[in-house]
Amino acid sequence: MPEWVATALAAHIDDWKPLPGERTASPTSAGLLFLGRERKPLNKNYFNPNVWRPALRSAGVPRERENGMHALRYACASMWLEHGVSIKPVSEYPSFPEAISPG
């Protein structure tokens, strides 16, 4: 990752502590770094219109399905699989972040 991303991420971690809990091979909310106002996993109904779409507009990226939340889910699942997470927990991971109970 570029140094400027690592610096910004380190500052974020200093300001906003990750969610507690034990990280396991199965997806959990433990260790999440980017949270909603209630310190819970981000809700797509907030994140998509208030963060993702404005970022796409600002970057000049067209608003299309392949640039949406589905693409983020696909990227996340692909990274889990690449790092050894079993396909079963990935396939069973909740569709909506609010379905996850922290810790």
pLDDT of residue 54: 93
For 2-58, the DSSP string reads -HHHHHHHHHHHHHSPPPPS---SS--STT--SB-TTSSBPPHHHHIIIIIHHHHHH
Amino acid at 32: L
The boundaries of the domain holding residue 25 are 3-99
The residue among 5 and 44 whose pLDDT is bigger is 5
Q: How many domains does the chain have?
A: 1
pLDDT at 88 over 80: yes
pLDDT at 59 over 60: yes
* pTM over the 0.75 mark: no
pLDDT in tens, 22-36: 877 676 777 888 887
